[in-house]
């Protein structure tokens, strides 16, 4: 596990938790600002929802989304599932 923040600086604060399952990311906005940002900026189908706030994304568009999240100043913790 590690925490990403713009340009791979590391920090303890976490706004978004990401589980990397290889071809799929499960993204969970934790902080209220991160939840609001996702609600306003991310379009997804109902089947992508995992629980109340988390959602699944293919790794290709998911990587672009994570870069945008970091560029907006949110702290991301990435966990590689099964590793």
Q: What angle do CA 20, 24, 27 make, to 5 degrees?
A: 65
pLDDT average, residue stretch 48-67: 92
In this model, does residue 57 exceed pLDDT 70? yes
**How large a percentage of the chain has pLDDT more than 70?**
83
Task: Take residue 9 and report the two structure tokens written for it.
Answer: 């600086």
Q: Quote the pTM value.
A: 0.80
Distance CA 7, CA 50 (A): 28
Write out pLDDT tens, residues 34-49: 999 999 999 999 999 9
pLDDT attached to residue 51: 87
Least reliable range by pLDDT among 8-17, 49-58, 61-70: 8-17
Distance CA 75, CA 82 (A): 22
């Amino acid at each position: 596990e590690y925490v990403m923040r713009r340009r791979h600086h590391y920090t303890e604060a976490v706004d978004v938790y990401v589980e990397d399952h290889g071809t799929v990311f499960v993204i969970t906005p934790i902080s209220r600002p991160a939840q609001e940002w996702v609600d306003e900026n991310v379009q997804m189908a109902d089947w992508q929802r995992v629980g109340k706030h988390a959602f699944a994304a293919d790794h290709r568009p998911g990587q672009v989304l994570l870069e945008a999240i970091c560029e907006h100043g949110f702290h991301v913790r990435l966990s590689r599932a099964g590793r």
